[in-house]
Amino acid sequence: MTGRPAGGLVTLGETMGLVAADGIGPLEYARGFSFGIGGAESNVAVGVARLDGRATWIGRVGADATGDLVARRLAAEGVDTVAVRDPGFTGLMVRHRRSGGALHVDYHRAGSAGSRLAPADVPDAVVAAAGVLHVTGITPALSDSARDAVRHAVRVARAAGVPVSVDVNHRAKLWDRATAAPVLRELVEQADIVFAGPAEARLVLGGAGQPAGQPAAELARALAALGPAEAVVKDGANGCTAVIDGDRHDLPAVAVTVVDPVGAGDAFVAGYLTARLAGASPAERLRTAIAVGAYAVTVPGDCEGLPRRAELDAFLSTPDDDVAR
């Protein structure tokens, strides 16, 4: 760790290598690839760090070149990194765009180093000194030990009075709805802040018992009724709806040309939590979240397009300008 002051964002989860095919079409015909890193929790940490916030990421990486890349890249972004070295391999995800609107992501992570995250890997003192602990519904899906690590971190945070942020982030390729729902609901019930898409909110609230057309405001209020003081429903091009301390907030999306939608939700969360840590009002937190999410989708990659503070300020001032002079 770099010894930066405590009090910022602390998060934990798996960060993988990301193999992305260039162009559009079947993977078998791709001739060019880029290699980077990606992971919901580390995306949020990078987003916070780029906006001049303090961020710490906790996870396991393999004793391999990809693990080295993860540790170096996060450190280069200014993220304090607690990277436990594991004899296993660092997970990979392979992404290609089959057609203009069809993005496919395959995971190669079963038995990976990141999936072996355990409670002993979580430094209690780091969590207890955080300004906010952020976890997602992805890590509990990886293994029993990873699920226990998340639960342990949440217990430590709550005992220390640290706010807990949960992004539901349901991944159907990792676990089925019936298995995921009670675990995700348990996390939400212990959270101070919750983020969910409409379908994720319905899953947490009871799955088939929630009508598909239920308004976002109703979903946000129902999530808040489970315990979180701040419930935010992220709805892509429709913007977001939140219930924060009992008050409803609705913000439209910012119109941008979408190049890569992957990581938009993580960018949104990073913007919101950065503003919250800075003491911003609920309206300003959501405005920042919408802007960071919009900015991120204009660039390929999981975290490459996340804005720095000066870029975000310029975007908020003149979001419609396409030439910087």
Q: Which residue type is seen at 317?
A: S
Report whether pLDDT(5) > 50: no
C-alpha distances in angstroms, 66 versus 82, 163, 325?
A: 16, 32, 38
- Residue 182's nearest CA partner among 192, 173, 170 is 170
Report pLDDT for 29: 79
- Residue 244's nearest CA partner among 276, 266, 268, 274 is 276
**Mean local confidence (pLDDT), 61-90:** 96
- CB neighbourhood size of 235 (10 A): 16
Q: What is the pLDDT of residues 168-206, one digit of tens each?
A: 999 998 999 999 999 999 999 999 999 999 999 999 998
Q: What is the pLDDT of residues 226-271, one digit of tens each?
A: 999 999 999 988 899 999 999 999 999 887 777 666 678 999 999 9
Report whether pLDDT(210) > 60: no
The phi, psi pair for 71, rounded to 5°, reads: -65, -45
Percent of the chain with pLDDT over 90: 68
Report pLDDT for 323: 40
**Mean local confidence (pLDDT), 100-117:** 87
All domains of the chain in start order, with CATH:
9-15+40-91+114-313 (3.40.1190.20)
Return the SS3 of 300.
Answer: coil
Catalytic residues: 266
Task: Find the farthest-apart pair of alpha carbons in the chain and give their distance in angstroms, rounded.
Answer: 53
Report whether pLDDT(300) > 80: no
Q: Is the pTM of this model over 0.85?
A: yes
Query: What residues have CB less than 8 Å from 156, skipping those under 6 apart?
Result: 122, 124, 127, 128, 162
Mean pLDDT of the chain: 90
Helix spans in 138-232 (H): 144-160, 177-189, 198-205, 216-225
The phi, psi pair for 28, rounded to 5°, reads: -65, -20
Contact 248, 259 (CB under 8 A): no
Q: What is the pLDDT of residues 7-56, one digit of tens each?
A: 899 999 999 999 988 888 888 878 888 889 999 999 999 999 999 999 99
Distance, CA of 136 to CA of 165 (rounded, Å): 8
Distance, CA of 25 to CA of 2 (rounded, Å): 43
Distance, CA of 107 to CA of 123 (rounded, Å): 28
Q: What is the pLDDT of residues 125-134, one digit of tens each?
A: 999 999 999 9
- pLDDT band for position 302 (cuts 50, 70, 90): low
Q: What is the pLDDT of residues 139-165, one digit of tens each?
A: 999 999 999 999 999 999 999 999 999
- pLDDT band for position 207 (cuts 50, 70, 90): low
